Amino acid sequence: MELGLKDKVVLVTGGSRGIGQACALAFAREGAQVVFSYAGNDAAATATVAEIEKLGGRAKALKFDVSDAAACQAAIDGIVKDLGRIDVLVNNAGIAVDGLVMRVSEADFTRQLDVNLKGAFFLCKAVARPMMKARGGAIINLTSIVGESGNGGQAAYAASKAGLIGLTKSVAKELASRNIRVNAVSPGFIETDMTAGIQGELRGRMTESIPLGRLGRADEIADAVVWLASDRASYVTGEVVRVNGGMLT
């Protein structure tokens, strides 16, 4: 199925591992020019570039903190200068610092908002102008089932991910007249570094809560992201696409 992504310029934040890496590889398979950001793991970034090149794709890794507004603007400006445009933004970078609400420090709460929500806001703001000038583009924000349903011990994380849904819907309304679509993907429990440490009885209970009876794969999230970025989703904007094995419908 032709998705119309060949030679498109795509930025995936947090693209060196997990869901972000799966997205970067999926776009590369569609012939897109992939730029991905990462926070600190140089080895993982180098490995991801190599994987994309092995697929015959083109990739560039940018090391910056998405919670830094100036760094976000500089990254977008650099991409437009080097590659001529930016067609797709995938706001995937995120962190989770779990803890009961009475025990979460202000610093941990603020850091999760800074990375998970403000980072997406800064990058949406930065890409708006070049996308408006091109009269087209797609933005996909990675929220979470936790942002929709809540979860004990993750009040701060859930708040940041719920905020992403409001951001998505508002920016979708603002940019629709310029043919810029803004959507979110809401994963359930996915096999990533974040869930790898959950084992034993807790993992069993987690699996039992999923109607499909298993955790999802990162590539299953990437498939939804790539579809939303493609011409096949040309009339979809302001939506939250749930990929959660039936946990929340």
Catalytic residues: 157
d(CA 146, CA 97): 13
Dihedral sign for Cα 128, 131, 135, 141, please: negative
d(CA 48, CA 36): 9
CA neighbor of 123 nearest in space, from 184, 72, 63: 72
> CA-based Rg of the chain, rounded to a whole angstrom?
17
Name the one residue in this structure whose structure tokens are 């849904």.
165
Residue 101 has φ and ψ, to the nearest 5°, of -55, -35
